[in-house]
Structures are given as structure tokens and as C-alpha cells.
Amino acid sequence: MGHLLFSLKGRISRKTYWIFALVCAVAYVMALSVDGAMMGEEEDGVPLGTLVLTLAVLWPSIVIQVKRWHDRDKAGWWIFIALVPLIGPVWALVENGFLPGTSGDNRFGPPPGS
């Protein structure tokens, strides 16, 4: 598990990518709910739960995306395509979430699950 979330080496499948995204989405909904309940009607204040969660998943999120780019036989630097306004995030989502990885070994290692 540690290697999956902290090392930039290797490849992951679309399934792993989507499971990570789903777990993060559920965690964010829970953190936002807790923050909302704790802050009540006040608009000022720090949403501490959401802030802590964001800091906790920042590096693992980068790692997961880099490994998905690796599965597509592209350098991890492609993660920065998401910073291009409008088209970048869509491109990254399509590449990482919907297109299959390269079959067999590529320059980043064997296929996921091997």
C-alpha cells in the first residue's frame, strides 16, 4: 500500500485510479459535512477537516496520476496538462480515466497486476 501511494515508480490500472478517486470523493463529502456541522451558519472560520484531508491526499493524488500517465507510456510530467485552462483537465480525465494503458511492458515497467 505504501508503495502504491508514495512512490512515483510503476504503473496503475484505471480501476485503481477510479477507486482512489471514489475514496477521496467520499472522504471529502464526509469532511465537508463535518466542517459544515461544526461551523453552523457562520460563513467565517477554517474548514479544518477539509484542510487536513486536502493536505493528507495531496502527494498520494499526484502519485496516482503520475502512475496512470506511466501506464499510458507517458512521462509523469504530463500531470501538468491539467493546468491548461478548459481543455487540460478534460484531457487528463480522458487519458487517465477512460483510455487503456499500454499492453505488456513499457518503459515504466510491467502492466499493473503483473
User: Is residue 81 assigned to a domain?
Assistant: yes
User: Is residue 77 assigned to a domain?
Assistant: yes
Backbone angles phi, psi at 109, to 5 degrees: 125, -175
Q: Whole-angstrom Cα distance, residue 77 to residue 43?
A: 38
Contact 71, 12 (CB under 8 A): yes
User: Is residue 29 assigned to a domain?
Assistant: yes
**Structural domain containing residue 57:** 10-98
User: Is residue 83 assigned to a domain?
Assistant: yes
- The C-alpha cell of 46 is what? 477554517
* pLDDT above 70: residue 5: yes
* pLDDT above 90: residue 111: yes
Contact 61, 96 (CB under 8 A): no
Contact 13, 112 (CB under 8 A): yes
Instruction: Give the number of domains in the chain.
Output: 1
Return the H-helix or E-strand segment holding 43. none
Residue of higher predicted confidence among 63 and 45: 63
User: Is residue 114 assigned to a domain?
Assistant: no
* pLDDT above 90: residue 31: yes
41 falls in which pLDDT band (50, 70, 90)? low
* pLDDT above 80: residue 40: no
pLDDT in tens, 6-26: 999 999 999 999 999 999 999
